[in-house]
Amino acid sequence: MDFIKIRDKIKGILHNCGVTEVHNSKAQVPEQLPAGIVSLAQQFGEIKLVTGFAKQGYKFDIHLVVEDSEESDEQLIDLIEVIDNCIQDSLYTEIEKVEFYDSLLSANNVRIAKFEVIV
């Protein structure tokens, strides 16, 4: 499966789990929250042959963005749990580590969760 099909599948999972807007680039500014960004971070070979690799793997960086509030961490964790279950069911992989940080989006405080999906 090529990376565009996998990326589109991840974007569909995010939409189905309640993420309002999903973009392919951090340069695109979301207008509605919660929002997601799915970007290709790495391509790697998995099965080495004499002529190259028989299979390619991909690592995607995913950022979830929510409005910063007292409940933002709880909202992110709940969302990640649902997304992780869907990723396990359809891509047969799981989220191993999540990083949380604060940022600004159009002069508004937001809370961001960053994680990787390796397929």
Please report, in tens digits, the pLDDT of each residue of the chain (119 residues total). Answer: 688 999 999 999 999 999 999 999 888 888 899 999 999 999 887 677 777 767 778 999 999 999 999 999 999 999 999 999 999 999 999 998 999 999 988 888 999 999 999 98
Question: What is the distance in angstroms between the CA of the first residue and the CA of the last residue of the chain?
Answer: 10
Residue corresponding to tokens 């299979």: 55
Does 3.30.70.1700 match the CATH number of domain 3-118?
yes
- What's the CA gap between 112 and 75, in Å, rounded? 11
- Shortest CA distance to 65 belongs to which of 15, 100, 25? 100
Cα–Cα distance, 22 to 63 (Å, whole number): 10
pTM greater than 0.85? yes
- Rg, the chain, Cα only: 15
